[in-house]
Amino acid sequence: MTIITTDTTPRVWPACLNCYNNGRLVGRWVDCTDAADVTLSQLHEGAGGLSASCEEIWCLDTENLPVDHEMGLLEAAEWGRVYAEVGPEHWPALCAWVRSGSYVAEGSGYLPSVGDFEERYCGRWDDFREYAEHWATETDMMDRWPDDAVRYFNWEAWTRDLAMDHTVVNAPAPDYGVFVFRDL
């Protein structure tokens, strides 16, 4: 059996902005958790000397981030902080939540509120129906119902109504399924 693992560590490609503007790609990939420590001299190692015009670093590319824009090192480091808080096991879910547009941002930027994520995240499921059945069982929803009510319960309609209070996002490969988030 082959097990496929996917590295979801968020990374940025910080570069010397002066060199870039002059047609030279001087930069390297770094994990967002290390972005705050990147210096111009580190970027220029092996790429020629650092000139007096080299003053600014800008992240020109990203990997495994739920946003698709260039950014400064401080924003990249903040994404690294969020990654460290949620951990690699929940990072794909947090990214899905942000990409859904139904997330709660920290302040006025793009960074998601980890506390709100943790409060809303209901897990990864094969489909929303599986989540709904689990929720009904965990909350003892039908425990005091008569047998006839349980037998004729319209799961399809109830699941459809329950989905109105949730955000459901398709999970990426290799797991597939869906991520479920409560809309509070």
- Model confidence over 143-154: pLDDT tens digits? 999 999 989 999
Segment 1-48, tens digit of pLDDT? 555 567 899 999 999 999 999 999 999 999 999 999 999 999 998 777
Rounded to 10°, the helix 91-100/73-86 angle is: 120
User: Residue 177: helix, strand or coil by DSSP?
Assistant: coil
- Give me the chain's average pLDDT, please: 92
- pLDDT, one tens digit per residue, over 50-102 is 788 899 999 999 999 999 999 999 999 999 999 999 999 999 999 999 999 99
pTM for the full model? 0.88
**Where do the H-state alpha helices sit in the chain?**
17-21, 40-44, 73-86, 91-100, 114-120, 128-138, 147-151, 155-163
Spatial distance between the Cα atoms of 83 and 8, rounded to a whole number of angstroms: 10
Three-state secondary-structure class, residue 59: strand
Paired strand residues for 27: 15
Q: What angle do CA 176, 177, 183 make, to 5 degrees?
A: 130
**Token pair in block for residue 58:** 């800008």
* Helix axes of 128-138 and 155-163: crossing angle, nearest 10 degrees: 100
